[in-house]
Structure 1
Amino acid sequence: MDVSQAVNQRISTRAFLDKQITADEVRDWLATAQRAPSGGNLQPWRVIAVTGAEKQAVIDLAQKKLAEDPRGERTDRPIYPKDLWEPHEARRRKVGEMMYEKLEIPREDKAKRIQWFSRNFRFFDAPLAVFFVIDERMGHGQWAHTGMFMQTLALLAEERGWGSCFQECWGILRPTLKEHFGLGESEMLYCGMAVGYPDPDHPVNQLRAERADVDEFAELKGF
């Protein structure tokens, strides 16, 4: 598989097969991704990978906290900016409707939509869950480099026949997860990631989000 193929076929996988990934495979995957770009070689990321009982403990914790308040815990780093503007808000809504269309869950069936959304906090039943941690003292550049590391992991997952789904939704439980994982005083959990072998027959994995044409976001000058 070449890089272009990996980029083209990567999707947010939301249904997985009951097939495990070994510790040796995870270590090799993480080590290979360490060649991702890192300004000044700071390597500002930290990773916590959980499976089995450790993953279930996180799921149970999430269920308990969200039962107390479905909105989760207060955060000064929301998933999306307040009052998201166009065309970004339209894109966000469109991909959501595309997903529910694949799942055949109509807009008026709020209960089923909520039930499906709750699968986020079970990692969509993926065998492996990965959390990305960054020190809050890091600047915007280090956040960008952490994102490059995350993208590298997603592409390497494709090469291995795995699927992945980045899950910023875990950010609504940052205080609880900080305590659960015993993070340092200035450390924060940024994002989760569900990883495993994709279920090729599940309709949600047929979703392919639309992307803007190059001319919508790029200017080519001096050519």
Structure 2
Amino acid sequence: MHTNSRWDESNFDRVTIVDQIMTERRAKRGFLSTPVPTETVADILNAARFAPSSSNTQPWRCYVLKGSARERITTRAVENFRAGPEKLAPEYPFFPQPLPDPFISRFNLFRGQLGDAVGVPRSDRYGRLKDVERQFRFFGAPVGMIFTMDRKLEWASFICYGCFLQNLMLAARARGLDTCAQQIWSLQHHLLREELGFPESDMVIAGMSLGWADDSLPENNMMNHKLAIEDFVEFVG
């Protein structure tokens, strides 16, 4: 039977691969010290740059931290945090205060699961502070990334940035690597601006850990609850 459709058996293989990469991607919170070649990081970013953006504005800028630069910045970031967590404010709000339902319920469920996995209950303030320090060490990952954006842009550019970050995380997973996107690095914007030399006109959007996950850690084996499509989709027409 003749058909003009471009769909053939090879497309089924592509769908399977792409779907598998999307569904198996997880935020990892502990990494092996195995180095990641700079060429591999460049390949990942080269693929991610094809993310869609509004009118092709491409608002992303990325700083890749490795070796001594990574060590210096993470050490300073931990020192900053220890000197006074309350002094650190992000460049944009992470959540409204208070966070309304049903989002607060999902938030609390996740934080409870993560606390159980790392052995730090919500009541253990000191343990929670130590756990935050791990974030400022990129969870031990050999590569850290910092992402900035011109603050003259509007909130819609965050949508474009999300597409870019997702592209990056999927490209990493396709190569057997793992990631953790980290909004928390926005708290360190003064330090990062000083260390990396970007202007005040640029804001810190997020950081990201990149490497091979240490899957012996309980926190790297969490299964997060995801909504079924009937919980968030309406088919109209």
Provide the identity percentage: 29
Match of 1:133 in 2: 148
Match of 2:184 in 1: 169
Match of 2:170 in 1: 155
Greater displacement, 93-102 / 152-161 = 93-102
The yes-or-no answer on 1:84 pairing with 2:84 is no
Match of 2:70 in 1: 55
- The normalised TM-score by structure 1 is 0.93
Structure with bigger gyration radius: 2
Q: Distance in 2 between matches of 1:88 and 1:35?
A: 31
- The normalised TM-score by structure 2 is 0.88
Match of 1:74 in 2: 89
Q: Distance in 2 between matches of 1:71 and 1:165?
A: 24
Residues 21-48 of structure 1 deviation map (CA, whole Å, 9 limit, x = unaligned): 1111111111111111122111110000
Task: Give the alignment partner of residue 195 of structure 1, picking from 210, 213, 224.
Answer: 210
Task: Give the alignment partner of residue 2 of structure 1, picking from 14, 17, 20.
Answer: 17
Contact 2:91 2:187 in 1 (8 A): no
Q: Distance in 1 between matches of 2:125 and 2:82?
A: 17
The yes-or-no answer on 1:178 pairing with 2:199 is no
The one-letter amino acid of 1:43's match is: Q
Greater displacement, 197-206 / 171-180 = 171-180
4+ residue stretches of structure 1 with deviation over 6 A? none
How many residues align? The count is 222
The Cα RMSD (Å) is: 1.6
Q: Which stretches in structure 2 are left out of the alignment for 5+ residues?
A: 1-15
Match of 1:214 in 2: 229
Greater displacement, 122-131 / 79-88 = 79-88
Q: Distance in 1 between matches of 2:138 and 2:176?
A: 18
> Cα distance, 1:208 vs. partner?
1.9
Q: 1:75 to 1:29 in 2, by over 3 A?
A: closer
Match of 1:33 in 2: 48
Q: 1:45 to 1:185 in 2, by over 3 A?
A: same
What is the 5 A alignment of 1:104-119?
Answer: 104-119=119-134
Q: Distance in 2 between matches of 1:208 and 1:81?
A: 26
Greater displacement, 69-78 / 96-105 = 69-78
> Cα distance, 1:156 vs. partner?
0.7
> Cα distance, 1:174 vs. partner?
1.5
Q: Distance in 1 between matches of 2:129 and 2:178?
A: 23
Q: Which stretches in structure 1 are left out of the alignment for 5+ residues?
A: none
